[in-house]
Amino acid sequence: MANKKMGQAEKALRDLGKSIDDLFAKSKNSKEDMKKELDERIEELKRNKKTLEEKFSSFKEEHSDEFEKFETKLQEAADEVKEAFDKLFKKEKKE
């Protein structure tokens, strides 16, 4: 069970990385003012992703029995990132 949960968390991190890459690709076609804001958000997301990966690796080694709690937090963070993407693109479409 714990290995399945770890695999799901690792997949969530990969998906997050792909989402960041997709956002970067979309930012290239944005208006200049939005492109700057998107680029700043992308850099922030990359830093957050790196921090999550480091915490995940450390946690996985130290607390495999508590992994399920961590996975819930990781999923919440991924949901927040997705929501931020959605809001940012809705804002861009309105302009």
| pLDDT tens-place string over residues 18-62 | 877 777 777 777 677 677 777 788 788 888 888 888 887 887 778
Look at the block and give the residue holding tokens 């996985």: 60
| Closest by CA position to 13, among listed 75, 66, 80, 91 | 75
Is the pLDDT assigned to residue 5 strictly greater than 70? no
Q: What is the pTM of this model?
A: 0.48
Cα 76 to Cα 31, 43, 83, 92, distances in angstroms: 30, 20, 10, 24
Q: What percent of the chain has pLDDT over 90?
A: 0
DSSP-derived 3-state class of residue 30? coil
Give the start-to-end residue ranges of the domains of the chain.
2-94
